[in-house]
Structure 1
């Protein structure tokens, strides 16, 4: 019955209401069934409604609460240090002198490019957004021409910064936004010679080359092939990069070179900039652990090779001739093609592996160099119709085969010497 009455009243309001919004307001309570309807005309109605229970609070509880809040406010007022204006003149003067002395020390440390203060804390300047000292520096380091002129390199991420510091590369600037990132590199920081800036993270995001910035930049003096510190003993292997133009491929080759224990890497003129941010990121710290000679003319390439080295070309081309620029075929019959595992690298004194780009392939200069050294071409046999592998992947396959054979030969030699000694 009550449901029917509610429905009738709702229809009546819909007909009489000019505005649709008022119907929605009525609809919030009209769906509920009333407990009892009290009519003003019915004088004999005796509503049987439940009365709310009144909670009688003890006045002592309120007084205890007020006294507790008063005690807390008194404790807080004791903890707060009095302002300088409320202190005696002599004490206020001493506090002011201490602050001025601290600022003078900090300015002196910054002028001397000191990294740590007397307490062992890192000294840094907190800069505002779009500070010209940071923006001008990063603009220059984004340009290859300016990087070469300044002789400085920008790396991003605390891991690469630690790699550079462990290799004794000179740190010029350290830019960060979060103290947690600064703590990760703190044990490796030099005592002097670096300026450290703290800037907002959103500005770091603007200058970052990745989608999510790691929040810390390091600017190093560009290391040369002569002053790079090797962390382990190298094997008699070296790479020659022939016109590698993809940054990710060059970074992968450098990473493989460090992992396989190569002596050095030679880059021909025409390769991508070795200090390009993408190359640095994909190489994962190889720049600080490996001597890299870049922009070498092919006429000067033989002078960078070892006198007794054996030259091999990682070549996916299995034909016997290659078209040259003069529309003549360079005969490769004297240079046979062998599978990469078909050569006894352990019997060689030194190994040079030439690597070409995926798009351009091996140049004629590489074939001429290998032919002059009685070189060979190495091929990776593939199945299921795959023409070739990625340059970095092919480099890893061949390089670690060479490493395996050399280590096995060294172990046999060492084991034989121990047997003879016993």
Structure 2
């Protein structure tokens, strides 16, 4: 398939790309996401398949990694458009990045009726870096499902995607999930982190699947959800700090579960 060039800001396809880049509501309405940079685009090709559209800056075509990805897209009959660098840069939030974008269909997996496998429930986690880090740690720990409540930052936003480093592509991510029914009907223990409990994370048997419940950066887990959880645990620490960052807490929990699983 031949690379098509777009040279005008008034081109309808370019205007649509600007809307997708600038507006989360436009991405939700279109059911599409933008993958920015070589790593995300290459990972998508390897793990998922062809994008809806490959967008490349003209200067980036001289980059061997970029040209290789573009060639794979052409061979897979994906549409490819090239933009002058001045038109490409408003589409990207990465400073000094490589000018390559994929437009992909945002995955919408079928929601399970109950929690039966190791999963993560996120209650109003608002920082994109935190959410992306949690997704990355969850994927590395073998977690498969992540449920994000209303009020949680959009999981497929460009900033979360960059922080996730491709974790999105191996997870089932459910947005605007109702967490209370999931907790109530869970077929596995639900473990919530809290700084106001004496039970230590390290006292629990984590060798079987569990659902982890993490909350808002400042307010923690909603009180009703916290009360409904099977266990409420704290992560012991020695330093003079009140609590850990939610992404750090999640990583500690996930890999304590990995440690116990491998020990058995």
CA–CA separation in structure 2 for the residues paired with 1:185 and 1:195: 12
In terms of mean alpha carbon deviation, does 290-299 or 177-186 score higher?
A: 177-186
Which of the numbers 72, 84, 88 marks the counterpart of 1:200? 84
- 1:128/1:396 CA distance change after superposition, 3 Å: same
CA–CA separation in structure 2 for the residues paired with 1:293 and 1:313: 19
CA–CA separation in structure 2 for the residues paired with 1:355 and 1:188: 39
In the TM superposition, residue 213 of structure 1 has moved relative to its aligned partner by 3.1
Residues 158 and 184, structure 1, Cα contact 8 Å, conserved in 2:
no
Q: 1:137-163, CA deviations, whole angstroms, 9 ceiling, x for partnerless residues? A: 222213222212211111100110122
Tell me the secondary structure at the aligned position of residue 16 of structure 2. helix
CA–CA separation in structure 2 for the residues paired with 1:366 and 1:154: 33
| TM-score scaled by length of structure 2 | 0.88
Q: Give the equivalent residue in structure 1 for 2:134.
A: 253
Residues 73 and 80, structure 2, Cα contact 8 Å, conserved in 1:
no
CA–CA separation in structure 2 for the residues paired with 1:396 and 1:291: 18
In the TM superposition, residue 192 of structure 1 has moved relative to its aligned partner by 4.7
Tell me the secondary structure at the aligned position of residue 275 of structure 1. coil
Is 1:392 the counterpart of 2:252? The answer is no
1:29-178 correspondence to structure 2 within 5 Å: 115=1, 123-130=2-9, 132-141=11-20, 142-177=22-57, 178=60
In the TM superposition, residue 368 of structure 1 has moved relative to its aligned partner by 3.3
Q: Give the equivalent residue in structure 2 for 1:82.
A: none
User: How much is the aligned-residue C-alpha RMSD, in angstroms?
Assistant: 2.2
Is 1:408 the counterpart of 2:257? The answer is no
Residues 243 and 360, structure 1, Cα contact 8 Å, conserved in 2:
no
In the TM superposition, residue 242 of structure 1 has moved relative to its aligned partner by 0.9
Q: Give the equivalent residue in structure 2 for 1:221.
A: 105
Q: Give the equivalent residue in structure 2 for 1:344.
A: 205
- 1:193/1:140 CA distance change after superposition, 3 Å: farther
Which of the numbers 256, 259, 269 marks the counterpart of 2:150? 269
Q: Give the equivalent residue in structure 2 for 1:211.
A: 95
Is 1:312 the counterpart of 2:194? The answer is no
CA–CA separation in structure 2 for the residues paired with 1:137 and 1:365: 42
- 1:392/1:173 CA distance change after superposition, 3 Å: same
In the TM superposition, residue 273 of structure 1 has moved relative to its aligned partner by 0.9
- 1:282/1:258 CA distance change after superposition, 3 Å: same
Q: 1:47-79, CA deviations, whole angstroms, 9 ceiling, x for partnerless residues? A: xxxxxxxxxxxxxxxxxxxxxxxxxxxxxxxxx
| TM-score scaled by length of structure 1 | 0.56
Q: 1:114-134, CA deviations, whole angstroms, 9 ceiling, x for partnerless residues? A: x3xxxxxxx201222425244
CA–CA separation in structure 2 for the residues paired with 1:340 and 1:265: 20
CA–CA separation in structure 1 for the residues paired with 2:10 and 2:66: 20
In the TM superposition, residue 250 of structure 1 has moved relative to its aligned partner by 0.7
In the TM superposition, residue 367 of structure 1 has moved relative to its aligned partner by 1.5
**Whose radius of gyration is greater, 1 or 2?**
1
- 1:125/1:187 CA distance change after superposition, 3 Å: closer
In the TM superposition, residue 272 of structure 1 has moved relative to its aligned partner by 1.0
Count of residue pairs the alignment pairs up:
255
Q: Give the equivalent residue in structure 1 for 2:177.
A: 296
Residues 204 and 213, structure 1, Cα contact 8 Å, conserved in 2:
no
Q: Give the equivalent residue in structure 2 for 1:238.
A: 119
Q: 1:226-275, CA deviations, whole angstroms, 9 ceiling, x for partnerless residues? A: 59xxxxxxx94211101101111111110111011102111112211111
Tell me the secondary structure at the aligned position of residue 394 of structure 1. helix
Q: 1:9-55, CA deviations, whole angstroms, 9 ceiling, x for partnerless residues? A: xxxxxxxxxxxxxxxxxxxxxxxxxxxxxxxxxxxxxxxxxxxxxxx
Residues 147 and 179, structure 2, Cα contact 8 Å, conserved in 1:
no
CA–CA separation in structure 1 for the residues paired with 2:217 and 2:80: 41
Tell me the secondary structure at the aligned position of residue 52 of structure 2. strand
Q: Give the equivalent residue in structure 1 for 2:66.
A: 182
